[in-house]
């Protein structure tokens, strides 16, 4: 079966930055919906018209992956509103409860980057924003999408963690 929209592809991949540092690796195949919200546009573009066994090495500039890093998405919030155990790497889906800083976007995921006695630094950029990426992928299977997958524009796959929603709404993983 040729990859076309909509369908479901089963992929393995290795994702690195341009210096060759490993970011994510799917050694066991994972399914993704083509024509929806599961994959970045450039990844889908490379897959369309291909079939099982297809392999590619993609170079993704930030604008084709998770966007440029935007310093205006970094905020300083009063330390008092955070739990005592707050530490760098923690994430909040939207502004943390009690946040008073103007400009915090409701639909962003904020990562705590630094914790000081008086304030906490929150970064609303995707962790991979501003980074050019190399993606080596292989298609292990292609199948027709189910009605539910087409309605949701996604394959529901538990356990996906490293890469989250891209600024364009697409996900890589």
All structural domains of the chain with their residue ranges: 7-66+130-152, 71-123
CA 114 – CA 147 distance, rounded (Å):
44
Strand order in the sheet with 119-123: 74-78, 119-123, 109-115, 91-93
CATH of domain 71-123: 2.40.10
Divide the 173 residues of the chain into consecutive groups of 10 and give the mean pLDDT of each group: 96 96 96 94 97 97 96 94 94 90 88 96 95 98 95 73 38 40
Q: How many residues does the chain have?
A: 173
Query: What is the structure's pLDDT at 20?
Result: 96
Q: Does domain 7-66+130-152 have CATH number 2.60.120.10?
A: no
Q: Which pTM was predicted?
A: 0.77
Cβ(83)–Cβ(97) below 8 Å: no
Cβ(122)–Cβ(77) below 8 Å: yes
């Amino acid at each position: 079966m040729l990859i076309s929209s909509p369908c479901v592809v089963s992929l393995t991949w290795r994702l690195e930055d341009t210096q060759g540092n490993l970011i994510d690796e799917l050694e066991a195949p994972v399914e993704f919906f083509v024509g929806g919200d599961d994959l970045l546009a450039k990844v889908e573009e490379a897959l369309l018209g291909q079939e099982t066994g297809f392999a590619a090495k993609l170079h993704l500039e930030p604008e084709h992956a998770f966007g440029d890093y935007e310093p205006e998405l970094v905020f300083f919030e009063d330390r008092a509103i955070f739990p005592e155990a707050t530490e760098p790497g923690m994430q909040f889906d939207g502004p943390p409860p009690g946040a008073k800083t103007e400009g915090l976007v409701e639909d962003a995921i904020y990562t705590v980057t630094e914790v000081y006695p008086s304030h906490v630094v929150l970064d609303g950029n995707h962790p991979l924003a501003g980074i050019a990426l190399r993606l080596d992928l292989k298609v292990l299977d292609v199948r027709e999408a189910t009605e539910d997958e087409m309605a949701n524009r996604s394959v529901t796959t538990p356990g996906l963690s490293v890469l989250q929603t891209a600024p364009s709404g697409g996900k890589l993983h």
